[in-house]
Structure 1
Amino acid sequence: MTVFEELKRRGLIAQATHLDKIEELFNNEKVTFYVGFDATADSLHVGHFLQLVVMSRLQKAGHRPIALLGTGTTMIGDPTGKSDMRKMLTPEEINHNAECFKRQMSRFVDFEDGKALMVQNGDWLLKFNYMEFLREVGIHFSVNKMLTAECFKSRMERGLSFLEFNYMLLQSYDFLHLYRTLGCKLELGGDDQWSNIINGVDLVRRVEGEEVYGMTFTLLTTREGKKMGKTEKGALWLDPEKTSPYEFFQYWRNVNDGDVINCMKLLTFVPIEEIEAKEHLTGSELNPVKEQLAFELTKMVHGEEEAQKALEASRALFTSKGNTDDMPTTELGDGDLTDGTIGILDLMVKTKLCPSKGEARRLVQQGGVAVNDEKVSDPTRNISKDDFKDGSLIIKKGKKVYHKVVLR
């Protein structure tokens, strides 16, 4: 099975400009391709994860990835999928974020000896003369056509700034620049980037008279079409300081039954034949598959040692014994207690299991909170030092969220 056939069999390919020619390219050449990452935060998140896995998969098949860090395009911000303009970041913030990306990407892609390249589009975009850019690039774009793109069309009612309107031109120019300087023939990205990608392909054709290609990958969504990777605390980050390895593991351990096989296909390197052999499983039969999914992904992001710790902590939740050291933990001191106690609602907020006491109250009244495996039904319940067994207690929220509280 070729790498292209495996991409199709795993359901990774969403759209392509020339599917047959891209397949021929992968089969007959060592292709230089690129994926862009705007440096909008100081960590990659699970939305980037699928792209990194694809880059790794293609690199293992002998192709050369370019990781393009958007130190220039992030100055504007991609309007795709946003109802309002993105927060404007300073150049210092953007460069800091890009450095964080570099460290994380090296876990997935081998940048040694030119096997992959990492470049920053600020190196060329920030030096551009505006009039020169308009004459070389702007002349090839129809405003009428741009307004039909989903990324712009969805923003027209709420307002689209001229700043953001330039984003598509800049991303398109990236492809032209990489084609000219590094022989890049293919741009890859999430399916929400389709409009930007096809305009880059078109720009290279218009300016250079050469054919290049674009292909998008399936977005990581649930069976109902909702984006995956959102937790109660926000995005599911790859940085262990922002999302602990245990929390990362638990997210995947608790995916819905209908999504686990698809996640295995899209995100892991488990052989496709092994995954397909499990497609008939249902209910509790899927629990080992969920555990395998969580272990494989945590190992890829955080290493095997952290994955093993998370696995053991997760299993400990379902037994009367086991090590809970790697469970998300909140420490309380005497200053957090009043007369040696703390209200259950205050404790839920303190541990960030609920954003407010009002939401905590509703959760308790609905029977969704337990302390040390005993359901709490009274929102006025006080937790005392006696509730801490060997200095700690376990709060359970709903069926799947566990949190350890330690008394200093």
Structure 2
Amino acid sequence: MKDVSHEDIVARALSVTPGAPPAACYAGFDVTADSLHVGHLLTLHVLRKLSERNVLPVLVLGGATTAVGDPTGRTQSRPVLSEDDIAANMEAIQAQLLRLMKGCKPVVLDNAEWVTPLTLMELITGIGRQVSMSSLLASQAVKTRLDSDGMTLTEFLYPIIQGFDFMTLAERMHRMDCPAFLQVGGSDQWGNMLAGTELIRKMRPDLEGFCAAFTHPLLLTKDGRKMGKTAGGATVWLDREKTSDLDFYQFWRNLNDCDARAMADMFLDEMPAHHINEPNSTACDINALKTRLALRMTTWVRGEEAAILSRELAENRTGSAGPAFDVVRAQLVDDFPALVVDLDLAATRSEVRRLMAQNGITLDGQPATTEVRRAARGTVTLSRGKKRHQRLCIHE
């Protein structure tokens, strides 16, 4: 946990004995696309772990909040989706969530159920009077938007709607004799979560000792960027129609060493991986860790058969590439033609440039453009065509 509003309530939720009414924990998922992406996986992993402690997972799809548009982490408004698009996205994401949470018996709800009937007067006089403008203006998401493209009133109301979600669900769970009710999300959602705890404190003080919010760290790369992009900048989706099984596996397998250790500490049920940073550790240690991570994540999201096949395809792709060749990033980015010649993958620099213009030189299967080379991390495979390969270990 990163931020916690009420540690005693979280402790109570985690100490419910088997056979007693379970505590519950909810997370929200706006349906802005027809698939979740890897950035959602840590929230789901936390919910799976909580279910092992007799905490009921409650998954709230944002049928209403998707139409509002969460401004968090955005410099511009999100595209407006039609009702049909939202409905189609919701159907697809619900199927994903049920598959990823298999065995945890989650409850899936749509917040349009209680937000849509809310009248304007109820919002203004009932909820609006309880919300401080100063707290909304202090939100980092609001500050960022006001300093860039500005924001609409609709987006400004987003934290209030999310807070109303929390209060409405808390009322329901309290009537079900739940001993405690939690909300979890990434640390960038902390401001929105506090809007909910504050709304409960003012409108339902009888539930204040029943509810708590907590966050987990965001999945970030070592340089602070949100994790979830391939070397070429494409989003890594959970849907295999949008990101292939092999590309999904390779995303985890090709993480740089630092990011792989961090992800292993979060997702692998074993001893912390940071000991693989000691002077006597070897490249085999970290590569084995990356393989375990890639297998675990691909098995969870795509299934065991897809994970095993992806590993075989990845190993066949790099099997003839030999040992990794150490290169510094500046050489990969700024002096790439010379590097390819030095590796005996081409005879001259002009030949390299000609091959690159034909997409004949690739990094991990992607055309070796400047953007791809700049984004590459850890160990990658440099290929000329389909038969000549060289593994590279990139150093800053």
Place the TM-score, normalised by the shorter chain, in its bin.
Answer: 0.7 to 0.9
8 Å contact from structure 1 (residues 39, 98) kept in 2 = yes
C-alpha change, 1:383 and 1:215, in structure 2 (3 Å) is closer
The answer (yes or no) to whether the contact 1:72–1:121 under 8 Å persists in 2 is yes
Q: In structure 2, what is the Cα distance between the partners aligned to 1:369 and 1:242? A: 35
> Structure 2 unaligned runs (5+)?
175-179, 322-332, 374-378, 387-396
Cα distance in 2 for partners of 1:242, 1:125 equals 31
The yes-or-no answer on 1:121 pairing with 2:95 is: no
- Any residues of structure 2 matched to 1:136-175 within 5 Å, and which? 136-158=126-148, 159-175=150-166
The aligned runs of 1:182-331 (5 Å cut-off) are: 182-183=173-174, 185-209=181-205, 210-211=207-208, 212-231=211-230, 232-268=232-268, 270-271=269-270, 273=271, 275=273, 278=276, 280=278, 281-320=281-320
In the alignment, is the contact (CA less than 8 A) between 1:77 and 1:164 conserved in 2? yes
Residue type of the partner of 1:380?
A: R
Distance 1:182 1:80, change over 3 A: same
Q: Give the TM-score taking structure 1 as reference length.
A: 0.76
Which of 1 and 2 has higher RCO (CA within 8 Å, sep 6+)?
2
- 8 A Cα contact 2:13 2:24, kept in partner: no
Q: Counterpart of 1:97?
A: 89
Alignment partners' CA distance in 2, 1:258 and 1:45: 21
Q: Following the alignment from structure 2 to structure 1, what is the Cα–Cα distance between the partners of residues 341 and 80?
A: 40
- Mark the CA change 1:265 to 1:362 in structure 2 (over 3 Å): closer, same or farther: closer
- Pairwise CA distance, 1:297: 0.6
Shift of 1:365: 3.6
Residue identity matched to 1:219? L
* In the alignment, structure 1 residue 32 sits paired with structure 2 residue 20: no
Aligned to 1:17: 5
Flag the 1:382–1:190 CA change in 2: closer, same or farther, 3 A.
closer
- RMSD (Å), alpha carbons: 2.9
- Structure 1 residues 91, 111: closer, same or farther in 2, change over 3 A? farther
In 2: Cα distance, 1:104 partner to 1:404 partner: 37
Equivalent-residue separation in structure 2 for 1:198 and 1:395 (angstroms): 43
Of residues 395-404 and 19-28 in structure 1, the stretch that sits farther from structure 2 once superposed is: 395-404
Cα drift, residue 367 of structure 1: 4.2
2: distance between equivalents of 1:223 and 1:287? 18
The answer to whether the Cα contact below 8 Å between 1:395 and 1:405 also exists between their aligned partners in 2 is: no
Paired with 1:34 and 1:88, the residues of 2 have a C-alpha distance of 26
For 1:133 and 1:67, how far apart are their aligned partners in 2? 24
The offset of 1:150, in angstroms, is: 0.9
> Displacement of 1:143 after TM fit?
1.0
Is the Cα–Cα contact under 8 Å of residues 363 and 369 in structure 1 kept in the other structure? no
CA offsets per residue over residues 363-397 of structure 1, 9 Å max, x none?
8646469999557732235999xx9xxxxxx7774
Would the alpha carbon gap of residues 152 and 318 (structure 1) be closer, same or farther in structure 2, given more than 3 Å must change?
same
**2-structure distance, mates of 1:163, 1:171:** 13
Q: 1:203 to 1:52 in 2, by over 3 A?
A: same
Q: Does 1:134 align with 2:124?
A: yes
How far apart are the structure 1 equivalents of 2:366 and 2:169? Answer: 52
What 5-or-longer segments of structure 1 have no aligned partner? Answer: 1-12, 322-360, 388-393
- Within a 5 Å distance, the mapping from 1:389-404 to structure 2 comes to 397=368, 400=380
Give the C-alpha shift of residue 61 in structure 1. 2.2
Q: Which whole-Å CA distance do the structure 2 matches of 1:295 and 1:376 have between them?
A: 39
Q: TM-score, normalised by structure 2?
A: 0.79
Determine if contact 2:356/2:367 at 8 Å carries over to the other structure: no
Cα distance, 1:147 vs. partner?
A: 0.1
Query: Alpha carbons of 1:77 and 1:366: their partners in 2 closer, same or farther (altered >3 Å)?
Result: farther
Shift of 1:278: 4.5
- Residue identity over aligned pairs, in percent, reads 30
* Distance of 2:341 and 2:158 partners within structure 1: 46
Which amino acid in the other structure matches residue 17 of structure 1? S
